[in-house]
Amino acid sequence: VYSSDGMGDSLASAAATAEDVEVEASRALAEADAMLTVPPEGAGGGSDDDEDGGAGPDDEADRAAPADAALEEALRRIRADKTLAPPPFPTPPNLTAHPKMADKLRAVQAFIERLQYNYTGTDYFDIRKNRPVTRLLDTARRVVREALPIKCVEAVFVALLLTQGLDVERLPLSFKTRVERQTCKHIVLAVRHGAQWGALGLSRRAGLYYKPLGSAQSLGELFRDFEREYAKVFHRVLRVKVGLPVPHDALAAEYVCWAYRVVDARDQTPAAREELGKVLDA
């Protein structure tokens, strides 16, 4: 049994507690509103460590707006100028116009070079090599169609596409090199017609992709040509991979063998170099 006086004291205590909770809640909401309030125009919205002395996002947007407007205006004038020629778009070579195989391959290489090397750091195409030949050729067709910059792997895909049906044997040739503490990888398409060898591809260095047909009389000699070019840019060849010939069937579902032989190229002794040449030419 509770007395009326005790009940009154309890109600008063509960009311006081509720009032205290309401006050604390109101204070917390006020602090949150203060934190979310955008400072008036002209006030420093950034921290004291801001490089521009406290400029906030709105100030950056205000500065960027004139530049964006100027860019849009320049683009509008370019589009409206009917006297400007359209940008150059590389077209695949007509190989039937070249009776000699060396000229056909030179035309293929010229087209690959017109696509230009991709310096952006972003791959525009699927560069996975562990796909059937038909899928690699699909990627190559997309490269030809869109004509965006490429790297060495896409260049090999395009070389495979454009040499389909030609009387050449095509083998992937991959390099692993080191310059100072950096390790690099590169790939070209080695081509053979009769006893003559050459290579197709693309690189940032002129001597590290195209080799005219007839520049080498064996695969070992072709490798040594690349090795000399690597030495000119202070690269040491660590390893070379030679794949199997790629079939000319455009609908082939088989996978390309990219590394049938893997040869250590670090040993520079005469005996090791002679053995390396024998392995590559086997």
Active site residue 235: no
Could you tell me the maximum CA-CA distance found in the chain, to the nearest angstrom?
118
Catalytic residue among 3, 26, 186, 248: 186
Neighbours of 233 (CB within 10 A): 12
Q: Choosing from 3, 174, 203, 257, which is the catalytic residue?
A: 203
Active-site option among 152, 174, 193, 235: 152
Long-range contact set of residues 216-219: C-beta below 8 Å, sequence gap at least 24: 218/277, 218/280, 218/281, 219/171, 219/173, 219/190, 219/192, 219/280, 219/281
Six-digit token string for 100:
């000699």
SS3 call for 73: helix
Q: Is 186 a catalytic residue?
A: yes
203: annotated active-site residue: yes
SS3 state at 247: coil
Amino acid in position 264: D
d(CA 271, CA 147): 46
Strand order in the sheet with 196-200: 211-216, 196-200, 182-193, 169-179, 236-242, 261-264
Active centre residues (catalytic): 152, 186, 203
